[in-house]
Every structure is written in structure tokens, then in C-alpha cells.
Structure 1
Amino acid sequence: MTTTLMTYAGPVDDRAPVTRTGGVPLVPAGFTWPQCAECAGPMQFLAQVPADAPGAQGAEAAEHVLSVFMCQNDPGLCDEWDPVAGGNRALVFPRAGLAPAPVPEEGETLLPETCGVDRTAVDAVSYSEARDRWAQASGRPVRDVLGGLGGAPAWLQGDETPVCPSCARAMSFVAQFEEGRDEGTAMNFGGGGCGYAFACVPCAEGAFLWQS
């Protein structure tokens, strides 16, 4: 069985039209930067990944991008770990015609580092096994694994697969995110946690949550 990892590919331009963590989101015309439902501040952009990651369903998925945002204005005070509380957003965009978003002048909106991502296939049954095998084979630190694409989520707690609010079906798992390569530039998933992104591409719906 093959597991697809997202491995660190070095720094990239913060507006690059590639799979990456950090930087500035690429968005369609008319985009409004997401605001936290609890503190009303602008959210922090975390990552953009293809919605056609291994495991995503439907031919439409090849033409879409999933962008993930999470509130970091008052870490721990807004329910940013919950998929429906309004402290995070996962947005499905058509891939064509995207442009860099205007970034709000206030609030915690961008990560300190923009990291390029390589898709790396590893012969392993599970995500955890794939991380360890890749680190051993490459001689690189396991923290250079930024997450995984498709397959099955490696839950740290119980299964929290969200349901699409439009069609009421279980969403397809798109990506799992590690916090990052170092503490100074990491995402905040409670210290050692993981983020999980899902999509229902036919309904243009996304969801995000994290566990630690």
C-alpha cells in the first residue's frame, strides 16, 4: 500500500501557485478574507492543497484547490479546533483564475514561513509508518514531513470525519497537516497536534479541524 506524504521542498514564493503551507492565499474574484465567528478578527492562512489529493472523490476534484484558514488572534480562546464553531474555514476554489488575496492590515493573518511541498509516495500501510520510513530512507528529520495527502486520516483521538452541510454525506479526506518544521514557524495545533482537511467538491464545501 502506498501513502502519499507532503515533504518539505524548501522555501517558495509566498504567492506561488503550488501546494504549500503559509504565504498568501490564491483566491477567486470577489473573495472576502474569512473572519472568526467568535472574536471577529481575520483568520490566519495555513495552507493550499489540491482538492484532487489521493482519496478525494469525483472528477471535478482535479480542477479545485482547498485553502485552510484558522483563527490565531486569541490562541486557545476561540474554538479554532472545531469544524463547525466558526474558528476556522476550509474553502474550495476552482483552480483556474486564482490571484493573490489582499491581506488584512491587522490581525494574525500569515504564517512566518512559506514552505514548498513535494508529494512523496512511500510504501507503507499507515501515515505514521510512512513518516518513519521516509525519515530513515532520506536521512532527513521526521519534522520535514509536513503532512499527508489522501488515504485515511491518522486520528490522534477519535474519528471526527465531518458531514457536508449541503448534501449530508461524509466529506472526503484531503490532507493531514503536522504543525511544522520548527516552533518559530509552526502552525498552532495545541502543541504536537495535527490538522485535518476535508472537502465535498461537488458541493464546493470544505471543513477543517485539529486534534492533539
Structure 2
Amino acid sequence: MAHTLMVYDGTTDATSAGPRTGGLPLAPADFDWPRCDTCRGAMQFLAHLPFDDVVVAVFSCANEPGRCAQWEAFGGGNRAFLFPPDGLVPATVPEAGETRLGAVTAIRTEVVDEDAYDDARGVYGARVGRGRAVLGSWGGEPDWYDADGWPSCPRCARRMDFTAHLEEGYERRTAADFGGGLGYVLTCAPCTRAVFLTQG
């Protein structure tokens, strides 16, 4: 099975409508920036991922890494949102908290014909000589560390659809902190729900 990898494509504008990590979330005008359930701090915006008819905005708490249950879909240390693509505006950034990554990175896609995500990532990294150039993947099958952690939709209770892997980032000094592991975006389109979790 081929994997559609998300790969580093240089820097971009903080409010670009294309796929990116970092910058500002594009959200409905009444959007409230999410706060961590544990430390109550404002979360860090990680990624803007536009799909065919929705935009996924991904957040995780970076105020006290390792304390705020970022590894759980419903532990309160992560948030992901599904927005309609029209009428979105840059969200207002809270004054306090670790709210933004150190760089805004554009994403392009590359299809690699490998059965497992980790294999596809390795093949592409060897091809270009930069393993950290892979920023994740669109769709396919998740490369779970713990498959028992697959979340169900809190509204309809069906197993959520795997949507994307996220890597920590291209440069360590500007990257997200997933404890050295991967981030996972899952969605339930009928219920307009999304979740994010990390597994180190």
C-alpha cells in the first residue's frame, strides 16, 4: 500500500491556507483558543491541515511537557478541530503560554510505495538524504505504538477514522514535542469531531 507523505517544503506565511505546521490557526470568527485541562494554560498550535471539504486545526499543550496527558485523545492535553473551509480568519493568540511553534513550515506531498508508514518514511529520507524532511502522512494506516489506544467518537461511539501522522518537525529548535514519538490525528466526519494524541 502506498503512503502519501507530508514533506518539508520550506517556510511559508503564518496564515497560509495551504497545509503547514506552525503559524496561526484559521478558524471561525467566534473561535476560543483551547486551554489545557490540567495546567489551564493556552495550548500550542501545531498544524493547519486542509482536506477536500474540511480544515483540521491541531493543538497540544506545551506549557509543562510530560505532565498534561498529551498522549491521550481525551486527556485534556490535546485538541483538534474540524472546520468548514469557508469564512475562516486568523485566531487571536492568547498573551500567555507556549502558543506557537518557532517556525512556519509549508507541506507538500510525496507518494511512496511501501506497506508501512515507517518504511515509507525511511525510503524517502534515504532518497533525499534528510530523514527529518518527512513531517508525517495523509491517511493510510496508522503506525501505532499501542493499537489499543484507537479512540472512538465521543458523540456516536464508532471508531474514529485515522487521518494523519505528524512528526515532531524539521528542525529540533522549532519542532513540536511529542516525546520523540508520533502525533496522530483522527476524525469523525459525520459528527464533525477530531482528536489528537501522541505516542512516544
- TM class, shorter-length: over 0.9
1:143 counterpart residue number: 132
1:1-40 deviation line (CA, Å, top 9, x unaligned): 2110000000000110111111100001210000111111
Q: Could you state the TM-score of these two structures normalised by the residue count of structure 2? A: 0.96
Unmatched runs of 5 consecutive residues or more in structure 2: none
Could you tell me whether the CA contact under 8 Å between 1:63 and 1:96 is conserved in 2? Answer: no
Residue in 1 that maps onto 2:119: 129
CA distance, structure 2, for counterparts of residue 74 and residue 133 of structure 1: 34
Question: Deviations 1:145-169 (Å, cap 9, x if unpaired)?
Answer: 0011100011123342210011111
Confirm whether residue 115 of structure 1 aligns to residue 105 of structure 2. yes
1:49, 1:70 → 2: CA distance? 15
**Structure 2 CA distance for aligned equivalents of residues 35 and 114 of structure 1:** 21
CA distance in 2, matches of 1:165, 1:87: 16
What do residues 60-101 of structure 1 show as CA deviations (whole Å, max 9, x unaligned)?
A: xx2101111111111122112211111110111001111111
SS in 1 for 2:132: helix
Where does structure 1 differ by over 3 angstroms across 4 or more consecutive aligned residues? none
Deviation per CA, 1:153-194, whole angstroms, max 9, x where unpaired? 11123342210011111111111011112221111111x210
- Inter-partner Cα distance in structure 2 for 1:26 and 1:35: 17
Give the structure 1 partner of residue 62 of structure 2. Answer: 72
In 2: Cα distance, 1:108 partner to 1:49 partner: 21
Q: Which residue of 2 aligns with 1:197?
A: 185
**RMSD over aligned Cα, in angstroms?**
1.1
- Residue 49 of structure 1 aligns with an amino acid whose one-letter code is L
Task: Give 3-state SS (helix, strand or coil) of 1:184's partner.
Answer: helix
1:87 is matched with which residue? 77
Determine helix, strand or coil for the equivalent of 1:80. coil
Is the contact made by 1:127 and 1:154 (CA closer than 8 Å) also made in structure 2?
yes
1:199·1:206 contact (CA, 8 Å) conserved in 2?
yes
Taking the aligned partners of 2:89 and 2:23, their CA distance within structure 1 comes to 13
Count of paired positions:
200
